[in-house]
């Protein structure tokens, strides 16, 4: 049976607790970033950031509004990242998800 990770967009407040939990659970290092004048941080997914809240800020008539979505690994069945990983650190686990072996990763990402 295929598995999925779902989140309810109607209940999400973009608090970014999922970003913190993902980093902690996977023992990922913090990224050095700079203030870009936005609440969104870090700027993109990377080898050290596997999940992030992505913000789009709009200012209709002087009232800033945020629209956001959650971005993370989609565990694709035909994952491009698995195909191009030179060390084989990204691979499909026997249960079907994309897994990462930090012990053989060369850090090319």
Q: How does DSSP assign 17-63, residue by residue? A: HHHHHHHHHTTPPP------SSS--SSS-BTTBSEEEEEEEE-GGG-
Ordered structural domains, the chain, with CATH: 8-72 (3.30.70.20), 75-109 (no CATH)
Greater confidence (91 vs 44) lies with: 91
Predicted confidence at residue 1, as pLDDT, reads 63
The predicted-structure confidence for 46-81, as pLDDT tens digits, reads as follows 888 889 998 888 887 888 888 888 888 888 888 888
For the chain, helix (H) and strand (E) counts, in that order, are 2, 4
Cβ-proximal residues to 58 (8 Å cutoff; 6+ apart), any chain: 64, 65, 67
Q: What is the structure's pLDDT at 75?
A: 82
Does position 15 have pLDDT exceeding 70, yes or no?
yes
- Cα torsion 1, 91, 70, 9 to 10°: value is 0
pLDDT confidence of residue 3: 66
């Amino acid at each position: 049976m295929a598995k999925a990770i779902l989140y309810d967009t109607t209940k999400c407040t973009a608090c970014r607790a999922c970003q913190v939990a993902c980093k902690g659970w996977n023992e990922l290092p913090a990224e050095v970033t700079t203030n870009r004048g936005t609440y969104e941080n870090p700027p993109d997914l990377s080898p050290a950031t596997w999940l992030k809240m992505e913000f789009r800020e709009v200012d209709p008539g002087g009232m800033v509004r945020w629209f956001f979505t959650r971005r993370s690994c989609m565990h694709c069945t035909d994952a491009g990242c698995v195909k191009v990983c030179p060390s084989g650190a990204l691979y499909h686990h026997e249960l079907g998800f994309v897994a990462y072996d930090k012990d053989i990763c060369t850090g090319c990402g």
